[in-house]
Amino acid sequence: MTPARVLAGPPAADALLSDVAARAARLPRPPHLAMVRLGDDPASVSYVRGKDRRAREVGLGSAVYALPETTPQAELLALIARLNADDAVSGILVQLPLPAHVSEQAVLHAIDPRKDVDGFHPLNVGELWAGRPTLIPCTPAGILYLLDLYGLPVAGQRAVVVGRSPIVGRPTAALLLARDATVTLAHSRTRDLGAVTREADLLVVAVGQPHLITPEMVRPGATVIDVGINRVPGGPGGKAHLTGDVHPDVAGVAGAITPVPGGVGPLTIAALLANTVTAAEMQAGRRVPGASAR
């Protein structure tokens, strides 16, 4: 078996971002992304910094509101209300996870659906499941962009998504369905997971369990998208390193596979900035809400 084709994220992200920059430049003023984070979780700090830097690189405005971990929910909701009302703000992202005293649901409901660049507001979630993707969650949008860029088919494919989280698994299943794949959504209670994943032409894994997917669970020649980002000890020099939900030996069976890091992650950021431009276009009346973003 020839080893799998590696679907590198960074060049695909660059291609998407050059389109984002061109669309941003056609607007009357640069789209602006407001990001809010509570507390100093190192991963959140690093992700938000990465998004902020990439936004500026492609000519978007960007602002980070770094609030104390102890910020009361009412204060966070008041900030969101101000950002909703501010015409200079095109997109709003509240970094997850939130501290336990803040209701994620209350926050996600509070963001104006037309500025919801994460695609987490129930209106956008509903539109996506109804087959009318508008502002699509960033990781699923990034996965579809990656597949399209590398010329991998979606329509008619047997797709298996492992993981049913509201931010990755569920919306990925909805988006693949909107693109005419035959979709199975598997999860921690799925009986004989390997028998299910072996049916997949296209396997998307978003569980957060290092090396859950082993070679015998993969159909030879399948496309495997690894969304897992797991920090595990014992990297080069004994430092913690990143590894995916898919065992490295799967590369000997799959037809195509995304690496971790350097696979889906960079596309997630690019898709966020694409959503920010889409939101700005809608607000400028250049795009009708509901006209497909793809």
The set of catalytic residues is: 51, 95, 118
Task: With contacts defined by CB under 6 A, name the span among 60-68, 156-164, 197-205, 263-271 that binds ligand GUE.
Answer: 263-271
SS (H, E, C) 219-267: CCCCEEEECCCEEECCCHHHCCEEECCECHHHHHCCCEECCCCCCHHHH
Task: Report how far residue 120's alpha carbon sits from residue 117's, in angstroms, rounded to the nearest whole number.
Answer: 8
Q: Is 229 annotated as a binding residue?
A: yes
Could you give the CA distance from residue 145 to residue 9 in angstroms, rounded to a whole number? 10
Least separation in angstroms between CB 50 and ligand GUE: 6
Residues 142, 138: Cα–Cα separation, whole Å:
6
Concatenated DSSP letters of 41-110: -HHHHHHHHHHHHHHHHTT-EEEEEEE-TT--HHHHHHHHHHHHH-TT--EEEEPSSPPTTS-HHHHHHH
Is residue 163 near ligand GUE by the rule CB under 6 A?
no
| Smaller CB separation from ligand GUE, 102 or 193 | 102
State which residue has the least CB distance to ligand GUE.
265
Residue of 59, 99, 262, 289 that binds ligand GUE (CB under 6 A)? 262
Establish whether 244 is an annotated binding residue.
no
Does residue 238 have a known ligand-binding role?
Answer: no
Q: Indicate whether 266 belongs to the interface with ligand GUE (CB under 6 A).
A: yes
Q: Contacting ligand GUE (CB under 6 A), which of 112, 116, 118, 201?
A: 118
Binding track, positions 49-68, relative to ligand GUE; x by CB under 6 A:
-x------------------
- Letters for 183-222 (x = contact with ligand GUE by CB under 6 A, - = none) are ----------------------------------------
Q: Please, which residues have CB within 8 angstroms of residue 117's CB and are 6 or more apart in sequence? A: 33, 90, 91, 92, 93, 135, 138, 272, 275, 276, 279
Q: Which is nearer to ligand GUE, 156 or 248 (CB)?
A: 248
| Binding-site sequence positions for NADP(+) | 163-165, 229
Q: Which residues bind ligand GUE (CB under 6 A)?
A: 46-47, 50, 93-96, 118, 138, 229, 242, 260-262, 265-266, 268-269
